[in-house]
Amino acid sequence: MKKVLIIEDDRFLRKVIVKKLSREKYQTTEAADGEEGLKLAQSESPDLILLDLVLPQMDGFEVLERIKNNKSISKIPVIILSNLGGTDKMNKGLKMGAADFLIKAELNPGEIVFRIKAVLERSKKLKK
């Protein structure tokens, strides 16, 4: 069973994603702020991280930077999930090492699962 860490401060959205992922047989862990998310990334070693950008304590870009600079967790694929659209934010996240960038307002839970599966599949091929 694949483990997904969801770092999202919007409780309702977090619960919707958890419910959808659980139905798809993913194990989930949740964090409501950047610091907690970073700690869980280190202690849980999830297979994938869904990361919001606007977070209390530490914003998503800082969380992403710390993940990618930490050898023990740097290979975990990160999907940014944000309403901060725009090419500049997307490019920044992808250049920093995010595997994908999803805009919340344009998604439904089914599409999130589809993108997670695609990123995990790419990640598996890269490890071979």
- CATH number for the segment(s) 3-127: 3.40.50.2300
pLDDT the model gives residue 21: 96
Across the range 15-34, mean pLDDT stands at: 96
Confidence of residue 24 (pLDDT cuts 50, 70, 90): very high
Distances (CA, A) of 5 to 41, 91, 93: 7, 23, 18
In sequence order, the β-bridge partners of residue 49 are 5, 78
Query: Helix, strand, or coil here: 106?
Result: helix
Across the range 73-98, mean pLDDT stands at: 91
Across the range 100-124, mean pLDDT stands at: 91
Q: How far apart are CA 102 and CA 123, in angstroms?
A: 17
123 pLDDT more than 90: no
Confidence of residue 128 (pLDDT cuts 50, 70, 90): low
What residue spans of 45-98 are helical by DSSP H?
60-68, 87-95
What amino acid occupies position 67? I
In sequence order, the β-bridge partners of residue 28 are 4
pLDDT above 90 coverage of the chain, percent: 81
* Domains of the chain, residue spans: 3-127
Across the range 11-22, mean pLDDT stands at: 94
